[in-house]
């Protein structure tokens, strides 16, 4: 349990009632802008999936999903989702979504492994989205265009909130900075990946770091990624590898970079087999999801997740994600937040 640096004499700009109304407005405004800009239709998502299908996201590869047996299915085990990265791609195929269109949904998850702090909760809520693309669109240029569209929706939402609550002044830059994780490593060779994220986001305030999961020049990845959804090994037009990345926004309240979204162009058959081999996960080719991809029954796609509570936290200038969502927190943290005038829901 830890809390990041907090401002002295913190005072929320909105009280509890205003905060609840503003949360509703942010979610409604942002998802309307996101869906119209990316041409996404809303679908209903599962809270859990069957174990052993390959549909659940194993995130960095070490997290264990919350699971339970289903009595009426002979004890088959269900897992609470970590995210819907692979489920969405199957849904694109099952709904027969056309090229250039996609889906989005409200994803709710439980991540029991999380180390709890200002930004990390046991409960995760995000907009999960996925869009069908063409072979030609499997490019870095197209990835950047989509990132710019998402960032534009964030800017529009920030402006809308500032119009309703004048005490919240717009602070995001008009444009987002793109940089590859290898370029970032070369710029700050003596810093850790997390420290690099801090430095580049402090400088530019809104940054998209490309190529998360691939091995860099020092023999290590910037951060880990499961090998079977984002494509982090295909060469791109900038001379590096990777067609995915993470979006960071600077929080003046916390004085740190906040990861708001992880997204990317998804693996095709060649990238899937390559990344499974590199990660020593070749046995996954026998799973339901992987079989569908290898048998050409899944479309090429791009997709990702955007943190709902984190976006609200950033736009409403909050110091703790517990000011936005209801979750379980250690009593010591609740006490500390109360002493710092941070009202945890």
**Alpha carbons within 13 A on the beta-carbon side of 265:** 29
Give the gyration radius of the chain's Cα atoms: 20
Whether 128 sits among the annotated catalytic residues: the reply is: no
Which among 106, 199, 238, 259 is annotated as catalytic? Answer: 259
Distance of CA 260 to the CA centre of its chain: 6
Active-site pick, 83, 121, 126, 181: 126
From 89, 111, 225, 266, active-site residue: 111
The yes-or-no answer on residue 270 being catalytic is: no
Q: What are the CB-based long-range contacts (under 8 Å, 24+) for 334-341?
A: 336/3, 337/3, 340/6, 340/10, 341/9, 341/10, 341/11, 341/12
**Judging by beta carbons within 10 Å of its beta carbon (0-12, 13-18, 19+), is residue 16 exposed, middle or buried?**
exposed
**Catalytic residue, candidates 31, 35, 57, 198:** 57
218 is catalytic: no
- The pair of structure tokens assigned to 187 is 């710029």
111 is catalytic: yes
From the CB of residue 198, how many other CB atoms can be counted at a distance below 10 Å?
Answer: 18
Chain centre to alpha carbon of residue 189: 26
Output helix, strand, coil percentages for the chain, rounded to the nearest 5.
35, 20, 45
Active-site pick, 31, 246, 261, 301: 246
246 annotated active-site: yes
State the DSSP string of 28-92: HHHHHHHHHHHTEEE----SEEETTSS-S--TTTT----EEEEGGGTTEEEEE-S--HHHHHHHH
> Please, is 155 exposed, middle or buried when counting C-beta atoms within 10 Å of its C-beta (0-12, 13-18, 19+)?
middle
User: Of 262, 275, 308, 309, which one is the catalytic site residue?
Assistant: 262
Residue 57 annotated to the active site: yes
Element (H, E) at 337: helix 331-339
Catalytic residues: 57, 111, 126, 246, 259, 262
């Amino acid at each position: 349990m830890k809390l990041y640096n907090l401002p002295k004499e913190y005072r929320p700009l909105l009280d509890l009632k205003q905060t609840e109304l503003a949360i509703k407005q942010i979610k409604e405004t942002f998802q309307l802008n996101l869906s119209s800009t990316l041409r996404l239709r809303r679908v209903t998502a599962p809270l859990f999936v069957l174990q052993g299908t390959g549909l659940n996201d194993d995130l960095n590869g070490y997290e264990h999903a919350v699971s339970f047996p289903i009595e009426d299915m002979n004890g088959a085990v269900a897992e609470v989702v970590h995210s819907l990265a692979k489920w969405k791609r199957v849904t694109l195929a099952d709904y027969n979504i056309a090229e250039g269109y996609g889906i989005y949904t409200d994803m709710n998850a439980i991540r029991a492994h999380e180390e709890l702090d200002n930004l990390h909760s046991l409960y995760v809520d995000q907009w999960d989205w996925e869009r069908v693309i063409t072979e030609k669109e499997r490019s870095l240029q197209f990835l950047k265009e989509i990132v710019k569209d998402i960032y534009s929706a964030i800017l529009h939402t920030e402006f809308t909130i500032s119009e309703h609550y004048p005490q919240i002044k717009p602070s995001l830059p008009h444009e987002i900075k793109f940089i590859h994780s290898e370029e970032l490593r070369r710029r700050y060779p003596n810093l850790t990946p997390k420290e690099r994220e801090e430095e580049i986001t402090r400088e530019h305030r809104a940054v998209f770091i490309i190529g998360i999961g691939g091995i860099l020049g020092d023999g290590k990845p910037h951060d880990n990624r499961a090998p079977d959804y984002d494509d982090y090994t295909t060469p791109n037009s900038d001379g590096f590898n990777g067609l995915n990345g993470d979006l960071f926004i600077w929080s003046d309240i916390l004085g740190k970079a906040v990861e708001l979204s992880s997204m990317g162009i998804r693996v095709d058959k060649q990238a899937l087999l390559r990344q499974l081999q590199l990660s020593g996960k070749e046995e996954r080719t026998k799973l339901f999801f992987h079989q569908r991809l290898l048998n050409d029954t899944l479309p090429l796609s791009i997709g990702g997740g955007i943190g709902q509570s984190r976006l609200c936290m950033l736009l409403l200038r909050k110091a703790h994600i517990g000011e936005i969502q209801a979750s379980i927190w250690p009593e010591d943290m609740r006490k500390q937040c109360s002493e710092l005038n941070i009202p945890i829901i």
